[in-house]
């Protein structure tokens, strides 16, 4: 494998016009969905959560999340299909996921929201609201971003080798959806598994979970703040979300196959579970995915670690 496969520069804005042979709109599909959904009325998202959230939550989101994975909430639209390419998130569905996260948090931490004496900042409810939006959006964006990474890797290979990669690879992708493996040890759809892992691994990252716990630090009494910290850094949040993901379709639910599961027994015989990323498993699977995209053996993953900026929209 030549370095050009990985380092080839892509002019995303020009790719569709310059290489129509790799961008047949009848053959390029939206991961997890198929036919591109409508994007009329999309609002660009620049990171400011003070969008108009005056929408009702979607009652179908949670059941659909178990049937369809994160694509029940958003999707990646390829630069091969539209100048309005990027990540699209449906506001009512995002709001529903955020509220489900609130339910999970309050089940464990509702009793630990006593305001710290003399704290001059926002009310704790506002901070928790901010936290829940961050948790939901970080997961969704990381998942959908991985579909962009796969698309970009295929485009790099196409320029390096002069052959279509993304459309033939997508045929394999959809074949995995139609015929999930019967062996429970196998991964149902490799791209969706790694995409869910990318969304999930922040929850196993102590630096990320410490930053999340710090959102309420100072706003609540010290003893309460320690409970929030223990919930996130101690891995309980990651376990809660792993349980939720385990009920998703094949591929999506296989995310823990890229993790190490550790258990320990406390003084009250309570079995504590913790998930940690398994770098070797991820490297093995990204190399396997790279070979599916390339259509031939590769020495190492062709998936770029750093990618150009990508637009995010709310619907």
**Residue 141 pLDDT > 50:** yes
**Residue 52 pLDDT > 60:** no
- Distance (Å, rounded) from C-alpha 60 to C-alpha 66? 10
- Distance (Å, rounded) from C-alpha 61 to C-alpha 66? 9
Q: Which domain holds residue 270?
A: 4-314
CA angle (160 as vertex; 157, 163 as ends), nearest 5: 65
pTM of the entire structure?
0.93
Domain count, the chain: 1
Name the DSSP class of 202: G
Percent of the chain with pLDDT over 90: 79
Q: What is the pLDDT of residue 270?
A: 55
Grade residue 5 by pLDDT with cuts at 50, 70 and 90: very low
- Report CA 26 to chain centroid distance, whole Å: 27
State which H helix or E strand residue 144 sits in. helix 124-161
By C-alpha distance, which of 254, 305, 301 is closest to 280? 301
- Distance (Å, rounded) from C-alpha 267 to C-alpha 193? 36
Q: What is the pLDDT of residue 182?
A: 85
Q: What is the pLDDT of residue 59?
A: 87
Q: What is the pLDDT of residue 223?
A: 93
Q: What is the pLDDT of residue 31?
A: 98
How far from 6 is each of 103, 158, 222, 294, CA to CA, in Å?
Answer: 43, 11, 49, 11
Q: Are 206 and 238 in contact (CB under 8 A)?
A: no
**Residue 119 pLDDT > 90:** no
Q: What is the pLDDT of residue 98?
A: 94
Q: What is the pLDDT of residue 3?
A: 39
Tokens of 25: 């709109």
Tokens of 10: 């892509």
**Strand ranges for the chain from DSSP E:** 43-44, 74-77, 86-89, 259-265, 271-277, 312-314
Helix (H, G, I), strand (E, B) or coil at 271: strand
Residues 6+ apart with CB under 8 A from 29: 35, 36, 170, 174
- Rounded mean pLDDT, 298-303: 96
- Rounded mean pLDDT, 40-67: 82
- Rounded mean pLDDT, 183-210: 94
Helix (H, G, I), strand (E, B) or coil at 91: helix
203-227 pLDDT tens trace: 999 999 999 999 999 899 999 999 9
54-78 pLDDT tens trace: 677 788 999 999 999 999 999 999 9
69-104 pLDDT tens trace: 999 999 999 999 999 999 999 999 999 999 999 999
With left for phi above 0 and alpha for psi between -120 and 50, is residue 305 left, alpha or beta?
Answer: alpha
């Amino acid at each position: 494998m030549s370095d050009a496969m990985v380092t080839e520069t892509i002019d995303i804005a020009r790719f569709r016009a310059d290489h129509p042979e790799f961008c047949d709109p009848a053959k390029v599909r939206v991961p997890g969905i198929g036919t591109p959904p409508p994007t009329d009325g999309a609002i660009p998202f620049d990171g400011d959560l003070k969008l108009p959230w005056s929408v009702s939550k979607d009652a179908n989101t949670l059941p659909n999340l178990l049937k369809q994975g994160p694509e029940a909430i958003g999707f990646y639209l390829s630069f091969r299909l539209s100048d309005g390419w990027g990540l699209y998130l449906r506001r009512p569905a995002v709001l529903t996921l955020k509220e489900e996260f609130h339910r999970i948090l309050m089940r464990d931490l509702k009793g630990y929201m006593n305001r710290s004496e003399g704290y001059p900042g926002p009310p704790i409810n506002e901070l928790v609201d901010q936290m829940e939006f961050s948790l939901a959006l970080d997961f969704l964006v990381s998942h959908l971003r991985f579909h962009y990474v796969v698309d970009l890797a295929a485009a790099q290979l196409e320029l390096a080798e002069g052959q279509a990669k993304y459309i033939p690879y997508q045929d394999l992708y959809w074949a995995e959806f139609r015929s999930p493996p019967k062996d429970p040890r196998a991964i149902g759809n490799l791209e969706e598994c790694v995409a869910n892992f990318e969304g999930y691994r922040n929850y196993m990252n102590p630096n990320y979970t410490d930053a999340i716990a710090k959102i309420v630090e100072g706003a609540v009494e010290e003893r309460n703040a320690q409970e929030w910290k223990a919930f996130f850094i101690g891995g309980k949040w990651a376990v809660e979300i792993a349980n939720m993901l385990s009920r998703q379709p094949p591929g999506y639910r296989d995310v823990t196959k890229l993790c190490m599961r550790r258990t320990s027994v406390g003084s009250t015989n309570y079995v504590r579970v913790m998930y940690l990323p398994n770098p070797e498993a991820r490297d093995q699977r990204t190399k396997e995915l790279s070979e599916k995209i390339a259509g031939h053996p590769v020495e190492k993953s062709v998936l770029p670690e750093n990618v150009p900026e990508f637009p995010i929209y709310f619907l």
